[in-house]
């Protein structure tokens, strides 16, 4: 491929994420977190009383919790002023249904997601596609063959109305309660949009279900909630992509993810996040895994000013399995603090954590993890591997694994490596005809291969392209 073709492809990828649209909102809340704002959000959504009560309870918990500041080496959150964030913006679409025909979207929203490739994703025969713009799902579609088998894929607001018993039982009760942390409480108060996925017993959804979340407006917060219920013996792969253009004020993303993996079920949750570098990305993601269930977390984190993200699995049933594969990239002015948490609460459970991080131009990456093996969880095993790659002497990378082992009959392994790109590696590749930039790209591509090989080809290509742009400083 010629250098001109490379430049055109890079320019096209950059343009997909850095464009902005004029805001055309049907409803926009005031800044800050007050009971009046919470009631307005709930009223605009025509929610039942029980959901409003949960929101108000979460709001009280949020105000009673201190801002997290006591973790060693955590990202600096002092610049984040939640009272200056607009928590709710509803674009000019049906506030509950969205649309299921792409042509029915307003032109400015349709153009946004056209540029992000959502129609192409659907044409590639994904099982279902959802798109969130600001605070609301604006488009959702599910292939008929899966609906006929009882699979449900819809936005969370609609699920509250149409499947209240399922939602009331699972929504922020046992998996991610609002009391879990300050930002979970914030999320519980102002959540909006997100996906509801239900897979009946014994059903395998053979193609990925996809959602894309776009935060377009400056100074706003996006608080989507994803709830996945995989019944006994079922299987599903959910993929989310996230992006936002860069503005001069801070944005906040504080989503919530709850996954229920029933006996012998298998869920893979994949994320490619490219938030702009004025965004604080503070999520809570957790799965409860029953007997012989399997949970897989695959994630790529780049963009954002600061990220604190630690997907968690509670291995509740005998023989439950958990896998984490993550890649984090931090450039100038970025602090990407990611990791994983696993609780082995039953015998013969197994977890594998593989973390890759890249830092350059003074950026900081950190792996922060917790593995807990409870008393009685005998014959369980865990393996943690953390690898960090740094481009220069100004960049930093830390590893903070924490293991709580209360059972003696277990197998525990941990390995960590930190290093710079070696001059001899560059020289070797240059001797084979590559220039300095291409040599570095090839080294990085090999370094992140464990995650790209787990993604569908279009996502793997995009992740590689985004990292190439980050390496060149092309993304804002």
pLDDT digits (tens, 9 = 90+) for 246-286: 444 678 889 999 999 999 999 999 887 777 788 899 999 99
Residue 333: name the closest of 373, 298, 362 by CA: 362
pLDDT score recorded for residue 473: 53
Q: Is residue 313 part of a domain?
A: yes
Q: How big is the CA angle at 288 (ends 283 and 291), to the nearest 5 degrees?
A: 155
Please give the pLDDT value at position 142. 52
Examine residue 460 and state whether it is found in any structural domain, yes or no. no
Number of Cβ within a 10 Å radius of residue 460:
18
Task: Look at residue 215 in the predicted model and tell me its pLDDT.
Answer: 61
Q: How far apart are CA 102 and CA 109, in angstroms?
A: 10
Supply the pLDDT for residue 460: 67
Helix (H) or strand (E) holding 322: strand 321-330
pLDDT tens per residue, the chain (476 residues)?
Answer: 444 444 444 444 444 444 344 455 566 778 889 999 999 999 999 999 999 999 999 999 999 999 888 788 899 999 999 998 888 887 655 544 444 554 555 555 445 445 445 445 444 434 445 454 444 444 445 556 777 889 998 889 999 999 999 999 999 999 999 999 999 999 999 998 888 999 999 999 987 887 776 666 556 678 999 999 999 999 999 988 765 544 446 788 899 999 999 999 999 998 877 777 888 999 999 999 999 999 999 988 777 899 999 999 999 999 999 999 988 889 889 999 999 999 999 999 999 999 989 888 899 999 999 999 999 999 999 999 998 888 888 889 888 989 999 999 999 998 877 776 666 667 667 777 777 777 777 777 777 776 677 766 656 666 666 666 666 654 44
Residues 6+ apart with CB under 8 A from 336: 301, 302, 304, 306, 307, 328, 329, 330, 357, 363, 364, 365, 366
* pLDDT recorded at residue 422: 63
Note the pLDDT of residue 476. 40
C-beta of residue 254 within 8 angstroms of C-beta of residue 282: yes
- List Cβ neighbours of 204 (8 Å cut-off, separation of 6 or more): 234, 235, 236
Q: Is 147 helix (H, G, I), strand (E, B) or coil?
A: helix
Give yes or no for a contact between 195 and 223, defined as CB atoms under 8 angstroms apart. Answer: no
Q: Is 313 helix (H, G, I), strand (E, B) or coil?
A: strand
Of 352, 309, 380, 328, nearest in space to 75 by CA: 309
What pLDDT, on the 0 to 100 scale, is given for residue 295? 98
Radius of gyration in angstroms for the set of CA atoms belonging to the chain, rounded to a whole number: 22
Helix/strand/coil for 73: coil
CA trace torsion 370, 373, 379, 385 (10° rounding): 10
The reported pTM is 0.83
Residue 335: predicted pLDDT: 94
Contact 129, 154 (CB under 8 A): no
Beta strands in 331-405 (DSSP E): 335-344, 350-359, 364-373, 380-390, 396-405
1 in any annotated domain = no
In a domain, 356, yes or no: yes
Dihedral angle computed from the Cα positions of residues 140, 145, 237 and 288, in that order, rounded to the nearest 10 degrees = 90
Q: What's the burial of 229, exposed, middle or buried (CB within 10 Å: 0-12/13-18/19+)?
A: buried
What single DSSP character describes residue 219?
Answer: T
Question: Could you tell me if residue 111 is inside a domain?
Answer: yes
Q: Which domain holds residue 31?
A: 20-427
Could you tell me the two tokens for 302?
Answer: 């780049």
pLDDT of residue 72: 86
User: Using CA atoms in the order 455, 283, 263, 355, what is the torsion angle rounded to 10 degrees?
Assistant: 50
Domain count, the chain: 1
> Kind of pairing, strands 350-359 and 321-330?
parallel
Q: Residue 246: what pLDDT?
A: 47
Cα dist from 111 to 114, 115, 237, 466, whole Å: 5, 6, 27, 21
Q: Are 242 and 253 in contact (CB under 8 A)?
A: yes
């Amino acid at each position: 491929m010629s250098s001109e073709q490379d430049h055109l492809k890079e320019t096209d990828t950059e343009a997909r994420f850095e464009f902005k649209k004029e805001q055309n909102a049907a409803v926009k809340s005031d800044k800050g977190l007050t009971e009046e704002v919470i009631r307005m959000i709930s009223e605009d959504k025509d929610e039942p009383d029980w959901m409003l009560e949960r929101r108000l309870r979460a709001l009280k918990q949020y105000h009673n919790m201190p801002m997290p500041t006591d973790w060693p080496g955590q990202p600096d959150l002092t610049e984040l002023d939640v009272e200056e964030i607009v928590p709710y913006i509803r674009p000019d679409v049906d506030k509950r249904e969205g649309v299921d025909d792409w042509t029915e979207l307003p032109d400015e929203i349709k153009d946004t997601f056209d540029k992000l490739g959502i129609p192409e994703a659907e044409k590639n025969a994904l099982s279902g596609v959802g798109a969130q713009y600001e605070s609301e799902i604006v488009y959702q579609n599910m292939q008929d063959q899966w609906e006929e088998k009882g699979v449900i894929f819809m936005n969370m607001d609609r699920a509250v109305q149409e499947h209240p018993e399922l939602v009331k039982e699972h929504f922020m009760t046992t998996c991610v309660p609002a009391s879990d942390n300050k930002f979970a409480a914030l999320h519980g108060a102002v959540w909006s949009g997100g996906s509801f996925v239900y897979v009946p017993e014994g059903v395998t959804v053979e193609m990925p279900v996809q959602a894309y979340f776009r935060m377009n407006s400056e100074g706003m917060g996006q608080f989507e909630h994803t709830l996945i219920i995989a019944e006994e013996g079922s299987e599903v792969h959910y993929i989310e992509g996230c992006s936002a253009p860069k503005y001069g004020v801070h944005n906040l993303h504080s989503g919530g993810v709850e996954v229920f993996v029933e006996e012998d079920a298998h869920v893979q949750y994949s994320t490619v996040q490219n938030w702009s570098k004025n965004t604080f990305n503070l999520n809570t993601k957790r799965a409860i895994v029953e007997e012989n269930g399997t949970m897989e977390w695959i994630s790529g984190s780049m963009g954002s000013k600061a990220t604190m993200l630690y997907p968690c699995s509670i291995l509740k049933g005998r023989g439950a399995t958990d896998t984490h594969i993550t890649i984090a990239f931090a450039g100038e002015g970025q602090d990407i603090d990611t990791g994983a948490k696993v609780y082995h609460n039953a015998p013969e459970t197994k977890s594998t954590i593989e973390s890759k991080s890249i830092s350059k131009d003074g950026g900081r990456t950190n792996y922060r993890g917790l593995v807990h093996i409870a008393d009685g969880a005998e014959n369980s095993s865990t393996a943690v591997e953390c690898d960090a790659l740094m481009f220069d002497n100004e960049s930093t990378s830390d590893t903070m694994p924490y293991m709580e082992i209360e059972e003696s009959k277990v197998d525990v392994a941990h390995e960590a490596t930190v290093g710079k790109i070696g001059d001899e590696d560059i020289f070797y590749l240059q001797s084979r005809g590559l220039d300095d930039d291409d040599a570095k790209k090839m080294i990085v591509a090999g370094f992140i291969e464990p995650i790209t090989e787990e993604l569908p080809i279009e996502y793997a290509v995009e992740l590689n392209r985004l990292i190439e742009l980050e390496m060149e400083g092309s993304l804002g």
